[in-house]
């Protein structure tokens, strides 16, 4: 199977040996048959000339990460007093991600909500194609330690290494036989239960295998092995679509009644596995990174509020949402506020990546293939701009 990332979380002084551990692990995993797509680092921002403007900090982190052989780095959670500089920092870099916390002490921080909405609006106009916001997430109640970007952040403690598998492929693998089983077939409940049990076995088996390879390497370099976030992360390839697995389980197109129950069943399966429950341990529903999700958006099968409802039973929130280029900042703030409100009410981590796309109106098809270089466009599926 493919692993989206090996992520190192560390203070600046620990990044060097963290990089050595990540490279050594990538080699060992490759020999074991795993494909590691990227190496990523999540440093604490304080050590990187923290008195400088955010553009200088971001470019410094990017340079250091690339020099150490990482593909991407993140600023982690950007402090409130620097949010006015974040759009410029993202526009000045290509391999840097960042996040903004919409909550503080378990409550929605409305001042940050407003600042995040303005930043999203500004960044959409600073990066060609409007995809700058792909590298920034609004977080609500998200703990440190996730391997997935842009939600990953490091709290300044001991260095850690975490793995982010592309586990949607496992879900599709075990649920594919259900596609040909009618909803009213008497054996369907048994077959659904068997598919979920098979998914759990796959997760536990891969987790044990990855741990056996990773722990000795981490010990060698003095890095804590944090584990895997088994969230069902998809890929644009149809056979790595989480929405396809959800449809197979539900027996209906994504967005129809039954979708939420299938999302919950998959999440419960992950949470019931005898593995470290790292990061989100849920379902990722990135609209423009999943072939089936993108197609169902084109079909008009679901709305933004549907996605928020599904996240309540444990998706990761509103992920890679294509919006009209002229969306008002008040609307953006309203969306962010509802995500943060749901997270605080349920005491669960949620994120939002909202992508206002210049030149796009509600209902129009996205044009990533036209607007972006081919190497980047291949990671996007054409969807519909959501209201």
Q: Delineate the domains of the chain, giving CATH numbers in brackets.
A: 2-377 (3.20.70.20)
What's the rounded mean pLDDT across residues 202-217? 98
- Each residue of 341-360: pLDDT tens digit? 999 999 999 999 999 999 99
In the predicted structure, residue 47 carries a pLDDT above the cut 70:
no
Here the tokens at position 386 are 């959501």
Q: Whose CA is closest to 366, among 294, 286, 284, 308?
A: 294
- Each residue of 102-139: pLDDT tens digit? 999 999 999 999 999 999 999 999 998 788 999 999 99
* Phi-psi group of 272: left, alpha or beta (phi > 0 → left; psi -120 to 50 → alpha; rest → beta): alpha
CA 61 to chain centre: 21
Q: Detail the DSSP E strand segments found in 102-153.
A: 103-104, 107-108, 136-140
Using 50, 70 and 90 to split pLDDT, how confident is the model at 378?
A: confident
Note the pLDDT of residue 153: 97
Note the pLDDT of residue 147: 98
In the predicted structure, residue 48 carries a pLDDT above the cut 70:
no
In the predicted structure, residue 145 carries a pLDDT above the cut 90:
yes
Note the pLDDT of residue 370: 87
Q: Detail the DSSP E strand segments found in 278-385.
A: 317-324, 350-357
Q: How many CA atoms lie within 13 A of 277 on its CB side?
A: 13
Using 50, 70 and 90 to split pLDDT, how confident is the model at 7?
A: very high
Mean pLDDT, the chain, integer? 95
What's the rounded mean pLDDT across residues 53-59? 95
């Amino acid at each position: 199977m493919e692993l989206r990332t090996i992520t190192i979380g560390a203070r600046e002084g620990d990044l060097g040996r963290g990089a050595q551990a990540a490279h050594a692990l990538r080699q060992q995993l490759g020999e074991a048959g795993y494909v590691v797509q990227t190496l990523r680092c999540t440093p604490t921002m304080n050590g990187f000339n923290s008195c400088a403007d955010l553009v200088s900090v971001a470019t410094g982190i990017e340079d250091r990460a690339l020099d150490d052989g990482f593909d991407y780095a993140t600023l982690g959670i950007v402090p409130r007093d620097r949010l006015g500089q974040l759009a410029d920092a993202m526009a000045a870099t290509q391999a840097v991600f960042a996040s903004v916390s919409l909550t503080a002490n378990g409550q929605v921080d409305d001042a940050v909500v407003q600042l995040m909405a303005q930043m999203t609006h500004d960044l959409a106009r600073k990066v060609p194609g409007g995809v700058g916001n792909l590298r920034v997430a609004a977080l609500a109640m998200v703990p440190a330690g996730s391997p997935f970007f842009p939600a990953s952040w490091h709290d300044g403690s001991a260095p850690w290494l975490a793995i982010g598998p592309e586990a949607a492929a496992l879900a599709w693998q075990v649920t594919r036989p259900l596609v040909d089983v009618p909803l009213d077939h008497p054996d369907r409940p048994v077959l659904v239960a068997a598919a979920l049990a098979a998914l759990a076995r796959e997760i536990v088996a891969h987790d044990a295998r990855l741990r056996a390879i990773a722990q000795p390497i981490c010990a060698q370099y003095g890095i804590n092995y944090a584990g895997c976030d088994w969230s069902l992360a998809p890929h644009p390839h149809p056979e790595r679509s989480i929405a396809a697995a959800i449809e197979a389980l539900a027996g209906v197109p994504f967005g129809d009644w039954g979708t939420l129950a299938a999302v919950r069943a998959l999440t419960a399966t992950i949470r019931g596995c005898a593995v470290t429950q790292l990061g989100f341990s849920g379902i990722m529903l990135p609209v423009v990174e999943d072939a089936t999700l993108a197609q169902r958006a084109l079909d008009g099968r679901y709305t933004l509020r549907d996605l928020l409802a599904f996240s309540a039973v444990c998706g990761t929130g509103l992920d890679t949402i294509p919006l009209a280029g002229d969306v008002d900042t008040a609307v953006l703030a309203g969306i962010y506020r509802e995500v943060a409100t749901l997270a605080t009410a349920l005491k669960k981590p949620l994120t939002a990546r909202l992508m206002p796309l210049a030149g796009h109106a509600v209902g129009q098809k996205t044009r990533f293939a036209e607007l972006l270089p081919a190497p980047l466009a291949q990671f996007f599926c054409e969807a519909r701009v959501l209201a």
